[in-house]
Amino acid sequence: MKMHLIAPSVLAADFSCLQKDFDMVNRSQADWYHVDVMDGRFVPNISFGMSIVKAMKKMAAKPLDVHLMIVEPEKYIGEFREAGADVITVHYEACPHLHRTLQQIRETGAKAGVALNPHTPVHLLEDILEQTDLVLLMSVNPGFGGQKFIYQTIPKIKKLKDMIVVQNARTLIEVDGGVGLQNAEKILQAGASVLVAGSSIFGAGNPGKVISMLKSIGREAMMV
């Protein structure tokens, strides 16, 4: 198993004291910050926009992985990049001209990601993998943290991994929603390389410990 990345989802952080949670993540073994932007149209919830992303950038010592759950994301890519996004992920379901949108993201210098809702099959990405740095598989319906992991995601990860291997692509597979210590190993074994985790990290008594436990999964096996 190759070394995977951990991306704590700040949606589950304490917004009345973000600096404290960012300090914890900065000191932890986490690799990225996962930043959920919701518009109340693509998903039935509103989170925050670029001014908050900009403030987060100042506090973050690690890359910002910005997940846009918004309609017409192509209108805001430049602004999110300027606000500090290092990875920008748009939803397949929100992009009629996905190829153009991914190009637009790469032109800003950010890594380009595509997210799939639980009902969207991975084979739809067959002709766009080369333009895609990361595929985010939603393992809950987007819009809220703290939901239950949808197990059908596991065969989706495997199928996507096979497609990536066949095409010899370098695309990363990120899994988002309901991820925690109880299922992380299965998700990684299926072929994922980035784990997003919100409530299982920030809801824990010792979040830094959960991050290091998530990070060390598979390592023991590699050492023998």
Separation between Cα atoms, residue 138 and residue 78, nearest integer Å: 24
Question: Which residues are tagged catalytic?
Answer: 36, 176
Residue 186, SS3 per DSSP = helix
**How big is the chain by its Cα radius of gyration, in Å?**
16
Scanning residues 180 to 219, which ones bind ligand DX5 (CB under 6 A)? 196-200
Name which of 36 and 39 has its Cβ closer to ligand DX5. 36
207 binds, among ligand DX5, Zn ion, none (CB under 5 to 8 A by kind): none
* Residue ranges in 66-125 that form contacts with ligand DX5 under rule CB under 6 A: 67
- Compute CA distances 158 → 27, 146, 187, 192, whole Å: 33, 24, 9, 8
Regarding 65 and contact with ligand DX5 (CB under 6 A), the answer is no
**Partners of 181 in the β-ladder:** none
Instruction: Tell me which of Zn ion, ligand DX5, none is bound by residue 116, counting a contact when its beta carbon lies within the kind-specific cut-off of 5 to 8 angstroms.
Output: none
Residue nearest to ligand DX5 (CB): 198
**Residues 5-44: x/- map of binding to ligand DX5 (CB under 6 A)?**
----x-xx---------------------x-x--------
Q: Residue 179's binding partner, choosing from ligand DX5, Zn ion, none, with beta-carbon cut-off 5 to 8 A by kind?
A: ligand DX5
Query: Which residues, 6 or more positions from 178, have their beta carbon under 8 angstroms from its beta carbon?
Result: 139, 140, 147, 148, 149, 150
